[in-house]
Amino acid sequence: MTTAAPRLATAPAAAIPPFEHSYATLPERFFARIAPTPVRAPLLLRLNLPLAAELGLDADWLAGPHGVAMCAGNRLPASAQPLAMAYAGHQYGQFVPSLGDGRALLLGEVIDHAGQRRDLQLKGAGRTPFSRSGDGRAVLGPMLREYILGEAMQGLGIPTTRALAVVATGEPVLRERPEPGAVLTRVAASHIRVGTFEYFARRGDLDAVRTLADYVIDRHFPALTEHAAPYVELLAAIAARQGELIARWLLVGFIHGVLNTDNVALSGETIDFGPCAFMDRYDPNQVYSSIDHFGRYAYAQQPSIGLWNLTQLANCLLPLLDPDSEAAKAQARGALEAYGRAFASAYAGGLRAKLGLLAAAGTDQDADDELVQDLLGRMAAHHADFTNTFRALSDARPDQPHTLAAVRTQFDEAAAFDTWAEDWRARLARQAEPDAARQARMRTVNPAFIPRNHRVQQVIDAATERGDLAPLEQLLSVVSRPYDDHTGLAAYRQPPQPHEVVRQTFCGT
Ligand code: AMP
Ligand code: MG
């Protein structure tokens, strides 16, 4: 690689602040130090300016030769200490004792404007000791999907890892056919997964399990540092975050697609956008992933899979909870109850909010939950679009029938909606709130825009086949502010035409 910095016509932008390395201070067996493999012709395709600002990273520097060289893995700042993290994981229920970062490298950590420590990682940066038979590379299409879905999650207010940059490598990557390669710079609260604990627990390395637990407490749950029983509280706290996260996915129709334990971040962020998608029509059994043949990770399976994954984490932590294994199990079971509580409260509360229901005299929550479930059942039976139904309800006033037209057309038999709408009208009448206030509230929880799968595919095709990034920019502009109306871009609210439907998504690994 180039050794001297290129001469710039204007004064060079300030370099970025030095990386920090708390993870790299952990014992050597937690990771493998390895440099990225340079790529032939790096080209910056997308830089996330708001995220750069949040991280305090100079956008001009990032977009300049040094920044692009970093994001390609061609030349790193002196303060970077690239490493591949070790982890294991249950993949589709089968335990794999050693997975690890096979194509990703942690460069280091930065402290963002809110004082939070965030990881900077290159995904697709070349082979590592964990690559097994993989090539260590990433394909442009899936990296654009990850970028878009991360920004959509962020816009929706759901905890998520995000992409800072996507750089094309100028090198083909061989999958079923040659595909353009890319490196994604990922930003995460951390990259520690359920599978990170499993890696050490399965080896019987209790010291490492304890060291990792202490690190996670310190980094993500500092309030537990002084707690008398920190590890059981850690399990409960992780479980609560995961329960809330999965509830929030369901509330926007998101299907992760590969909820293996190695794809569950302990920080509670959405991570590893692979064959994921937002659904169009509401169908609890919806699956997109091309390899999920049995629907293990279908939309409505996600809550129970979340608990299964946390149970694997609990198994790892048992020796830290109590020397007596029965006592330890009892403690773990108690801690895991936090998952169901967090899920139920976020999900049921979220659904009531989506329908504008407030607790009021003469209302009761069980009846409200029944009203919600009744609607969902009708939506599933009558192929209603999930996002558009709730958004149209936000604009409706049940006492003014013409305002219901946009909701009715979501159902392939409008009568199925009409009978429910009567109950909704009667229920709303029991809360003394002006319609306008309810509608405004509903519009803050019912997005107008999701990254519809066919749109994501169009973006990927345009970028991959024609080098055209305009569709990416346009899709990002709506999904990053999904609760706004974006008049003029209403086409992005439309579900796919029959010929546009994308039924499957692929890992692209
Ligand atoms: P994923 O299904 O993307 O969550 O990845 C599962 C495991 O496979 C992780 O250990 C990844 O690092 C590894 N992996 C995925 N793609 C590749 C690749 N192209 N080269 C090497 N390792 C990979
Ligand atoms: Mg993964």
Judge if the beta carbon of residue 257 lies within 6 A of ligand 1. no
Residue 106 in this model has a pLDDT that exceeds 70: yes
- Together in a domain, 272 and 186: no
The answer to whether 110 and 17 are in contact (CB under 8 A) is: yes
The residue nearest atom 12 of ligand 1, judged by CA position, is 102
Residue 82 in this model has a pLDDT that exceeds 50: yes
Specify the pLDDT at position 12. 54
Judge if the beta carbon of residue 142 lies within 6 A of ligand 1. no
Identify which ligand lies nearest to the alpha carbon of 174. 1
Specify the pLDDT at position 8. 45
Specify the pLDDT at position 504. 83
Specify the pLDDT at position 2. 41
The answer to whether 419 and 398 are in contact (CB under 8 A) is: no
- Together in a domain, 111 and 211: no
Closest of 138, 145, 134 to residue 99, by C-alpha? 134
Average pLDDT over residues 459-477: 97
Question: What is the identity of the amino acid at 370?
Answer: E
Specify the pLDDT at position 15. 84
In a domain, 362, yes or no: no
Residues with catalytic function:
262
Report the run of H or E that residue 184 belongs to, with start and end.
strand 178-188
Mark 147-172 as b/e (b = at least 16 C-beta within 10 Å). Answer: bbbbbbbbbbebbbbbbbbbbbbeee
- Together in a domain, 280 and 173: no
Residue 506 in this model has a pLDDT that exceeds 70: yes
Separation of 509 CA from ligand 1 center, angstroms? 6
Average pLDDT over residues 189-201: 98
Residue 11 in this model has a pLDDT that exceeds 70: no
In a domain, 359, yes or no: no
Round to whole Å and give the CA distance between 163 and 419: 45
Residue 3 in this model has a pLDDT that exceeds 50: no
- Together in a domain, 69 and 182: yes
In a domain, 358, yes or no: no
For 413, what's the count of Cα atoms within 13 Å in the CB-facing half-sphere?
A: 8
The residue from 318, 353, 388 where one domain ends is 353
- Together in a domain, 206 and 233: yes
The residue nearest atom 6 of ligand 1, judged by CA position, is 99
Across 197-328, the runs of DSSP E, i.e. the strands, are: 254-255, 277-278
Judge if the beta carbon of residue 317 lies within 6 A of ligand 1. no
**Confidence band of 508 (pLDDT split at 50, 70, 90):** low
**Beta-carbon neighbour count of residue 251 at 10 Å?**
22
Q: Which residue bears the tokens 């399976």? A: 301
**Beta-carbon neighbour count of residue 210 at 10 Å?**
15
- Together in a domain, 156 and 204: no
In degrees, rounded to 5, the angle at the alpha carbon of residue 167 between the alpha carbons of residues 161 and 169 is 130
The answer to whether 166 and 184 are in contact (CB under 8 A) is: yes
For β-strands 277-278 and 254-255, DSSP reports them as antiparallel
Report the run of H or E that residue 178 belongs to, with start and end.
strand 178-188
Report the run of H or E that residue 453 belongs to, with start and end.
helix 453-466
Q: Which residues are within 8 A (CB) of 321 and not within 5 positions of it... i.e. 6 or more apart?
A: 229, 231, 232, 235, 327, 328, 331, 332
The answer to whether 479 and 148 are in contact (CB under 8 A) is: yes
Q: Which of 85, 87, 103 to mutate to test the pocket of ligand 1 (most atoms within 8 A of CB)?
A: 103
CA 400 from chain centre, in angstroms, equals 38
pTM: 0.96
For 29-48, give the secondary structure using H, E and C. HHEEECCCCCCCCCEEEEEC
Averaged pLDDT of the chain: 96
Closest of 76, 78, 159 to residue 121, by C-alpha? 76
Average pLDDT over residues 169-180: 97
Q: How many domains does the chain have?
A: 3
Round to whole Å and give the CA distance between 244 and 177: 39
Separation of 101 CA from ligand 2 center, angstroms? 8
Instruction: Write the pLDDT tens digit of every residue in 314-346.
Output: 999 999 999 999 999 999 999 999 999 999 999
Specify the pLDDT at position 126. 98
Q: Which atom of ligand 1 is nearest to the CA of 87?
A: 10
Average pLDDT over residues 359-365: 90
Specify the pLDDT at position 9. 47
- Together in a domain, 187 and 243: no
Separation of 138 CA from ligand 1 center, angstroms? 9
Round to whole Å and give the CA distance between 335 and 345: 16
Average pLDDT over residues 245-249: 98
Identify which ligand lies nearest to the alpha carbon of 257. 1
In a domain, 78, yes or no: yes
In a domain, 370, yes or no: no
In order, the DSSP letters of 3-28 are -SPPP-SSPPPPPPPPPB-TGGGS-G
The answer to whether 165 and 71 are in contact (CB under 8 A) is: yes
- Together in a domain, 185 and 209: no
The residue from 191, 215, 238 where one domain ends is 191
For 324, what's the count of Cα atoms within 13 Å in the CB-facing half-sphere?
A: 4
* DSSP 8-class letter at 385: B
- Together in a domain, 217 and 187: no
- Together in a domain, 28 and 115: yes
- Tell me the residue range of the domain where 438 lies: 377-509
The answer to whether 235 and 336 are in contact (CB under 8 A) is: yes
Closest of 386, 404, 392, 390 to residue 354, by C-alpha? 390
Mark 471-501 as b/e (b = at least 16 C-beta within 10 Å). Answer: bbebbbebbbebbeebeeeeebbebeeeeee
- Together in a domain, 179 and 204: no
Specify the pLDDT at position 308. 98
The answer to whether 453 and 396 are in contact (CB under 8 A) is: no
- Together in a domain, 266 and 177: no
Judge if the beta carbon of residue 451 lies within 6 A of ligand 1. no
Average pLDDT over residues 225-252: 98
In a domain, 366, yes or no: no
Instruction: Write the pLDDT tens digit of every residue in 121-145.
Output: 999 999 999 999 999 999 999 999 9
In degrees, rounded to 5, the angle at the alpha carbon of residue 253 between the alpha carbons of residues 408 and 498 is 60
In a domain, 372, yes or no: no
Round to whole Å and give the CA distance between 178 and 433: 58
Separation of 339 CA from ligand 2 center, angstroms? 22
Judge if the beta carbon of residue 509 lies within 6 A of ligand 1. yes
Q: Which atom of ligand 1 is nearest to the CA of 104?
A: 12
The residue from 353, 369, 387 where one domain ends is 353
Judge if the beta carbon of residue 100 lies within 6 A of ligand 1. yes
Instruction: Write the pLDDT tens digit of every residue in 26-73.
Output: 999 999 999 999 999 999 999 999 999 999 999 999 999 999 999 999
Q: Which residue bears the tokens 């993989």? A: 134
In a domain, 1, yes or no: no
Across 51-150, the runs of DSSP E, i.e. the strands, are: 83-85, 89-91, 94-96, 104-111, 117-123, 138-139
Q: Which two tokens stand for residue 313?
A: 């984490």
End-to-end CA distance of the chain: 27
Specify the pLDDT at position 399. 87
